[in-house]
Amino acid sequence: MGRLTTNMRRFSAILLCVAVSACAANRYPGAPTMPSDDPAFAAPEPVVMPGLETDPPEALKLMPGDIVQLTTVSAQTNAYPGLIVDALGHLHVPLAGDVSVGGKTLTEAEKAIEAGLRRYDRFARANLIITQPDGHVASVLGAVGKPGRIPVPPGMRVADLFAAASGGRETGLASEQAQNLMPNLDLARLMRDGETVPVSIPLAIKGDPRHNVRVRSGDQLYVPPGTEMLIMVLGQVGAPQPIAYRQGMRLTEALARAGGITVAGDQNDVRIVRGPLDEPRMYTASIKDLVNGKATDVQLAAGDIVYVTKAWYTKTGEVLNALSPLISLANSAAIIAVAEAIRRP
């Protein structure tokens, strides 16, 4: 919710900057077909993850939460099923007491148990079998269909972990904003032992071996929602609202998701506000020219504000003044709907 409010403040700040600097005459350059076609606009540089050069496999280790069966062999053979490795990594062994086994391989844990038992029986041997590997889990949070703890079998990789957490998200929300939410995989991060693993989730999904690395117990994958990159569609449209941005989104798609241009809207004057706070740029696009084959559909950039004017608007100030109540509308109904969708499992 805090990030969404920050985005709304950003949009408001852009509009204020434009209001101060804009001239009275309604003349703006035509919107470039691609954001890169305007040399004055510089999109933020993406963070490139280098991946891991080596990703050696690890031996199976006992983790807190695992349930094991212990068999002791000496003059008599005894089986102890259902023993749990506690949160401290200890296994309570009859006679030997609490034995530290967390993080140890099965062979190492068996030797530790035998050392504890030999205080009472120097011929004792121990055998461990993991019956329920409940401690072998990774956490997936954020914009996925099934967030939470995911079992990690041996050999699981990042793409497998993401797929396991990407089950169908429940629909049925009253607001269409929720249906527009998409995970922002470019900003997704895999955390391990408190540090970021330098892998790209999109490249992992594509099978790049440097990025599709093995998942380890305790890993955390965070997939932020696409609301960190919003496009605002305001003005004379059916449903003014924020829309989650995706790469390659076109102006007509954004307008369609917002309910299309109303009868009072000016199809010859669709404004696009783009760029940083200190130097925002405003363009104009004509949907009528696009329909008549005289123009090309505009590709939008993350953070764009699309505003459909009324036919009688001729001055910048009047357009910007009209945005204020719509920004308030977005902060109330639309933003609450998006936040609700993020919280919904």
Q: For the chain, list residues with pLDDT below 50.
A: 16-25, 169-180, 313-314, 326-345
Quote the strand ranges of 159-264, DSSP E. Answer: 189-192, 195-197, 220-223, 230-235, 241-244
Task: Give the Å distances, CA to CA, from 138 to 43, 44, 143, 230, 320.
Answer: 34, 31, 16, 29, 48
Q: Compute the distance between CA of residue 227 and CA of residue 245 in angstroms, rounded to an integer.
A: 8
Residue with tokens 């895999």: 190
Q: What is the pLDDT of residue 11?
A: 54
Residue with tokens 């071996």: 209
Amino acid 43 reads A
Domains of the chain, CATH where assigned:
2-42+227-343 (3.10.560.10), 67-132 (3.30.1950.10), 137-226 (3.10.560.10)
Q: Compute the distance between CA of residue 201 and CA of residue 153 in angstroms, rounded to an integer.
A: 19
Q: Compute the distance between CA of residue 201 and CA of residue 191 in angstroms, rounded to an integer.
A: 12
Q: What is the pLDDT of residue 80?
A: 97
Amino acid 161 reads L
DSSP single-letter state for residue 179:
G
Q: Are 210 and 223 in contact (CB under 8 A)?
A: no
Q: Which pair of structure tokens corresponds to residue 145?
A: 């269909």
Among residues 194, 223, 200, 226, the alpha carbon closest in space to that of 213 is found at 200
Q: What is the pLDDT of residue 276?
A: 65
Q: Compute the distance between CA of residue 317 and CA of residue 236 in angstroms, rounded to an integer.
A: 17
Amino acid 267 reads Q
Q: What is the pLDDT of residue 169?
A: 47
DSSP single-letter state for residue 206:
T
Q: What is the pLDDT of residue 7?
A: 54
Q: Are 148 and 310 in contact (CB under 8 A)?
A: no
SS3 221: strand
User: Any idea of the CA torsion for 158, 160, 163, 164, to the nearest 10 degrees?
Assistant: -110
DSSP single-letter state for residue 225:
B
Q: Compute the distance between CA of residue 14 and CA of residue 25 in angstroms, rounded to an integer.
A: 19
Q: Compute the distance between CA of residue 314 and CA of residue 110 in angstroms, rounded to an integer.
A: 82
